[in-house]
């Protein structure tokens, strides 16, 4: 877009940005010509999407299958009480269009997966990752490396947050910062550790600014470095990150598929040693499969939702029963099955994303209880083109 293409309405809307020294109409034109894909419309996604819409990104694609819950609202400020129970992408689009009706907002109610990541990233100028789990973060990083697309990355835990820009064309990627993918459940998410809304605002806003810097060429993006923020002392520290010499480039997502799963938990093992990890059987187990997908579920399976009360308030899989994880682990006898595992219909546990259900299934299976975990959890259920009715 040339500067002459800025319409009078654009000059009026973005007047304060245009007056910035070093920004001007050329930078604004670059933003209006840009296509940004944002993963997640939650705690980080809320400020990212709000500011990218307001600043005038021409096309914004939002990827998120999740539903707005009441417990989201203290930090996911793009949503309102009226949106509880609706799709986050629909709520976010309404808010973004309310901020700036001149931009195009595209929405995709799916999880980011090995099967769709490369297609979704094709043709975008930058990806901003506001996801909340390591599986998605590494998948986004690797897909960006293959597509040669810059990635703005951010994460929060407790009172602290981190921000970086990963771009193989400029050097380091997430695999240079964290070469080993943390084991699922080894780092608590906000549903376990908690989070304050203003920290999401600080990190998400910083991520939006990094995207703007990359797209317009102003300033110095956080290439080859990670900015670490401590909200309790208001401090920022920038730490250098260098590419690992000799690191094998990521050229095929299939080769790293195991890094993108959230359901690999070590089991204590059966007496015959046939099981090593949930979803990975080295032999036939008398307890059945440790993990299944929604499409693999038997029609007679008993679905058990192990999420907390506030999570299920916004919706459950039809036909499922609700037993919170802690209550189930304290009293496995609450499962609606007989005492003989060989005579039981399948029992399938699910949570939000598959992490808690896999961990719970692993513990119960180690005690001889025949249960399985549904990979991807409720988010994967919502990601289906037509969610299964039971």
Q: Which residues are catalytic?
A: 190, 351
Is residue 134 within 8 A of residue 142, CB to CB? The reply is no
Q: Of 380, 314, 384, 385, nearest to 135 (Cα)?
A: 380
Q: Of 152, 149, 157, nearest to 188 (Cα)?
A: 157
Q: Of 213, 189, 80, nearest to 131 (Cα)?
A: 189
Distance of CA 300 to the CA centre of its chain: 31
Taking the CA of residue 202 as centre, how many other CA atoms within 13 Å lie in the half-sphere pointing to its CB? 21
DSSP letter assigned to residue 234: T
DSSP string, 132-187: SSHHHHHHHHHHHHHHT--EEEEEEEBTEEEEEEE-TTTS--HHHH--SPPPTTSS
């Amino acid at each position: 877009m040339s500067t002459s293409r800025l319409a009078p309405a654009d000059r009026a809307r973005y007047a304060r940005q245009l007056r910035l020294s070093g920004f001007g109409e050329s930078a604004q034109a670059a933003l209006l010509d840009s296509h940004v894909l944002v993963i997640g419309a939650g705690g980080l996604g809320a400020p990212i999407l709000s500011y990218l819409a307001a600043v005038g990104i021409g096309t914004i694609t939002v990827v998120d299958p999740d539903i707005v819950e009441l417990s989201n609202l203290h930090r996911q400020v793009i949503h309102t009480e009226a949106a509880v129970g609706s799709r986050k992408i629909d709520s976010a689009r309404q808010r973004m269009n309310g901020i700036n009706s001149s931009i195009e907002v595209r929405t995709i109610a799916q999880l980011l997966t090995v099967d769709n990541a490369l297609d979704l990233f094709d043709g975008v100028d930058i990806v901003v990752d506001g996801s909340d789990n390591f599986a998605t973060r590494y998948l986004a990083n690797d897909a960006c490396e293959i597509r040669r697309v810059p990635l703005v990355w951010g994460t929060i835990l407790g009172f602290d947050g981190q921000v970086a820009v990963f771009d193989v064309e400029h050097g380091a990627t997430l695999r240079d910062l964290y070469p080993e993918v943390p084991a699922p459940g080894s780092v608590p998410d906000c549903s376990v550790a908690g989070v304050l809304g203003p920290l999401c605002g600080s990190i998400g806003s910083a991520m939006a600014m990094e995207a703007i810097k990359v797209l317009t060429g102003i300033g110095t993006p956080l290439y080859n470095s990670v900015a670490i923020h401590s909200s309790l002392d208001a401090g920022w520290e920038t730490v250098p990150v260098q590419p690992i010499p000799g690191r094998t480039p990521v050229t095929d997502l299939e080769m790293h598929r195991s890094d993108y799963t959230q359901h690999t938990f070590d089991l204590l093992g059966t007496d015959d040693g046939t099981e090593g990890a949930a979803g990975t059987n080295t032999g036939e187990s008398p307890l059945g499969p440790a993990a299944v997908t929604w499409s693999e579920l038997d029609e007679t399976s008993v679905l058990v939702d192990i999420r907390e009360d506030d999570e299920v308030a916004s919706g459950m899989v039809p036909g499922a029963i609700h037993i919170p994880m802690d209550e189930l682990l304290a009293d496995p006898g609450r499962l609606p099955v007989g005492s003989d595992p060989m005579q039981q219909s399948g029992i399938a546990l699910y949570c939000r994303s598959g992490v808690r259900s896999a961990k719970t299934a692993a513990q119960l299976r180690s005690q001889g209880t025949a249960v399985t975990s549904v990979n991807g959890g409720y988010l994967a259920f919502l990601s289906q083109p037509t969610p299964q009715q039971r």
